[in-house]
C-alpha cells in the first residue's frame, strides 16, 4: 500500500459522491493498493480493512485524530487529539487469507470467519433482522451436529448468539470503541469509532478547501488546476496569502 497524491485523493473523493461507506472504503484502498485487485480487497476482513484505512489516513493527514465529542450528560464538547496507533488492536498484514475459527457451542461444531466487504454488499437494503441472518449464513463456513451437516439458519438462537460473539472475537478491530471522560461533569461513557466515516469526512472537508484554493489562485494568476495542485502546501499557502492581500 502507498500514500495517495493530491490529484489521486481528489479523484477518489469525486467518485465517492453518493456512494455507500463500504464503497468509499474500497475505493480508497483500491487507489492506494495497486498490487491488489478490488475483488481481493473486498474479501479482506473488515477489521483488517480498517487497519489499512488507519494507515492511509495517517499518511494523508498525520498521526493524530482530532475529535470533537459532545458529552451526553452535560452537553460540553470534548476536544482531543487521539493517536491513530492507540486504536489499532491488530497489526497490518500483507496476506489476504481469511482467519477462521472452529469451536463447539450447544453441541454444534461450528467453523466461521469474520465478515468482509463482499458480505456487506450481499446484505445491502435488507431489514435488520434479515441482515443479521444473512450475514451469519455467509460467515458460517460449516456446522455439524453428530457428524450431520446443519444449515446456519437452523441454529438455535442461543447458539447463533455464541457464533456471533466468536466472529467478533476473531476480528476485534472491526468494532473499535473509545472510552471518554467529561472533565466538567465527570461522566464516563464509550463511543464507537468508525474510521470509514471519520476519514471520509476529513477528505470531504480537505477536498472542498483545496478546490477553493484552486479557484482563488486560478482567478488571481490564471494557472491551471494541475499546476496549482503540483505546488507544495507551503508554496500554495504563500501564493494564497498574496492573492488575498
Q: Within this chain, do residues 36 and 87 fall inside the same structural domain, yes or no?
A: yes
Q: Within this chain, do residues 85 and 149 fall inside the same structural domain, yes or no?
A: no
> What is the DSSP secondary-structure string of 199-211?
HHHHHHHHHHHHH
Domain end residue (candidates: 144, 170, 196) = 170
Whether residue 97 has pLDDT greater than 70: no
Q: Within this chain, do residues 230 and 160 fall inside the same structural domain, yes or no?
A: no
Q: Within this chain, do residues 48 and 163 fall inside the same structural domain, yes or no?
A: no
Q: Within this chain, do residues 106 and 75 fall inside the same structural domain, yes or no?
A: no
In a domain? residue 231? yes
Separation of alpha carbons 34 and 11, rounded Å: 15
Whether residue 17 has pLDDT greater than 50: yes
Q: Within this chain, do residues 74 and 193 fall inside the same structural domain, yes or no?
A: yes
Q: Within this chain, do residues 74 and 107 fall inside the same structural domain, yes or no?
A: no
pLDDT range class, residue 92, cuts 50, 70, 90: low
Whether residue 241 has pLDDT greater than 60: yes
Whether residue 95 has pLDDT greater than 90: no
More confident residue, 45 or 92: 45
| The three three-digit cell numbers of residue 111, written as one number | 467453523
Enter the pTM of the model.
0.89
Instruction: Residue 124: give the domain boundaries.
Output: 101-170
In a domain? residue 1? no
pLDDT range class, residue 129, cuts 50, 70, 90: confident
Which pLDDT belongs to residue 96? Answer: 47
3-state secondary structure of 148: strand
Q: How many domains does the chain have?
A: 2
Which pLDDT belongs to residue 93? Answer: 54
Q: Within this chain, do residues 110 and 208 fall inside the same structural domain, yes or no?
A: no
Whether residue 172 has pLDDT greater than 70: yes
Q: Within this chain, do residues 110 and 202 fall inside the same structural domain, yes or no?
A: no
Mean pLDDT on 181-193 = 94
CA quadruple 51, 176, 120, 125: dihedral, nearest 10: -140
pLDDT range class, residue 88, cuts 50, 70, 90: confident
Q: Within this chain, do residues 149 and 211 fall inside the same structural domain, yes or no?
A: no
Amino acid at each position: 500500500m502507498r500514500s495517495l497524491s493530491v490529484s489521486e485523493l481528489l479523484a477518489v473523493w469525486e467518485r465517492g459522491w453518493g456512494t455507500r461507506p463500504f464503497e468509499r472504503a474500497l475505493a480508497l484502498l483500491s487507489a492506494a493498493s495497486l498490487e491488489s485487485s478490488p475483488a481481493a480487497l473486498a474479501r479482506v476482513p473488515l477489521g483488517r480493512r480498517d487497519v489499512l484505512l488507519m494507515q492511509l489516513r495517517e499518511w494523508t493527514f498525520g498521526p493524530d485524530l482530532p475529535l470533537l465529542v459532545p458529552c451526553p450528560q452535560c452537553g460540553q464538547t470534548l476536544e482531543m487529539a487521539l493517536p491513530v496507533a492507540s486504536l489499532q488492536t491488530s497489526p497490518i498484514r500483507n496476506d489476504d487469507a481469511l482467519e477462521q475459527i472452529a469451536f463447539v457451542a450447544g453441541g454444534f461444531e461450528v467453523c466461521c470467519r469474520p465478515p468482509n466487504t463482499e458480505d456487506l454488499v450481499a446484505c445491502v437494503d435488507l431489514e435488520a433482522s434479515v441482515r443479521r441472518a444473512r450475514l451469519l449464513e455467509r460467515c458460517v463456513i460449516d456446522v455439524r451436529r453428530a457428524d450431520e451437516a446443519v444449515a446456519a439458519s437452523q441454529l438455535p438462537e442461543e447458539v447463533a448468539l455464541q457464533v456471533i460473539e466468536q466472529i467478533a472475537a476473531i476480528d476485534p478491530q472491526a468494532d473499535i470503541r473509545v472510552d471518554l471522560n467529561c472533565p466538567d461533569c465527570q461522566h464516563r461513557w464509550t463511543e464507537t469509532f468508525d474510521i470509514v466515516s471519520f476519514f471520509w469526512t476529513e477528505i470531504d472537508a480537505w477536498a472542498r478547501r483545496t478546490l477553493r484554493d484552486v479557484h482563488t489562485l486560478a482567478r488571481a494568476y490564471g494557472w491551471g488546476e494541475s499546476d496549482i495542485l503540483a505546488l507544495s502546501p507551503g508554496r500554495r499557502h504563500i501564493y494564497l496569502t498574496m492573492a488575498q492581500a
